[in-house]
Amino acid sequence: MASPQPRIGVVTYPGSQDDRDALWALGALDADAVPVWHEERELPSLDAVVLPGGFSYGDYLRCGAIARFSPATAAVCAFAEQGGLVLGICNGFQVLCEAGLLPGALLRNESLRFVCRDVPLRVERADTPFTARCEAGQTLVIPVKHGDGRYVPPPDIDPAQIVFRYRDNPNGSVDDIAGVCNEAGNVLGLMPHPEHAVDPLLGSADGALVLASLVEAARDRALTAV
């Protein structure tokens, strides 16, 4: 019997701009990518959720601070609390921190300037649902594009929650942290954009390792639910 195609939702907030890119990239990696509007109070049947990049609600208060109160965010929190896989990319990472699903905060870049370029990342953990196709210590090249990407962790963060570090820190993040997971390991926030690095024609296909890991983990979840 053929493996089921995992259903992965991509939440669109007012101001999201990378939702269509995420939908395309997940579809290219054999997922059934499902759009989810921010006003939806219940998620459809899903095996994983992605919160994409952009400027939800125009960042009028703080990045992700208003999106944290969207009905769909509450549904994503409930999904995560039940063990569901959740990936937040850039603005999605900010939303997850504001919602309390991830520790720490994202602040203005140290340079006070918007940064947009490819950056090398070191994989700190290859044993998460988001990095199973990677190797610990491996370098991935994935683009960033943000003005508020300086990650500041809480003083008591568990080092095991650090999944990615910058090899060339573009924003002043503490300890070069580029991505963190929750203690359970089912929620990941990542500032670089893997959905923009799934085709060599774009300069790098390293982002596909992250998204394909998520697709495989979501497929395993779907098989377990059958």
CATH code of residue 15: 3.40.50.880
Residue 1 has pLDDT above 60, yes or no: no
Q: What is the CA radius of gyration of the chain?
A: 16
Active-site residue numbers?
A: 90, 193, 195
Spatial contact of 30 and 200, defined as CB atoms under 8 Å apart: no
Q: CB neighbours of 167 closer than 8 A, spacing ≥ 6? A: 119, 120, 121, 122, 139, 176
Residue pLDDT, tens place only, 76-119? 999 999 999 999 999 999 999 999 999 999 999 999 999 999 99
The answer to whether residue 92 sits within a structural domain is yes
The reply to whether 140 falls in a domain is yes
Residue for token pair 């990677």: 134
For residue 24, give its domain range: 7-225
- Provide the domain count of the chain: 1
What is the residue-wise DSSP string for 148-205? S-EEE--TT--GGGEEEEESS-SS--GGGEEEEE-TTSSEEEESS-GGGSSBGGGTB-
Give whole-number Cα distances, 223 to 150, 209, 210, 216, in Å.
Answer: 38, 21, 20, 10
**Predicted confidence band of residue 202 (pLDDT cuts 50, 70, 90):** confident
The answer to whether position 36 is within a domain reads: yes
**Residue 226 confidence (pLDDT):** 58
- The SS3 of residue 206 is coil
In a domain, 1, yes or no: no
Q: What global pTM score does this model have? A: 0.96
For residue 69, being part of any structural domain is answered with yes
Please state, in angstroms and rounded to a whole number, the distance separating the CA atoms of residues 144 and 114: 10
Q: Is residue 177 part of a domain?
A: yes
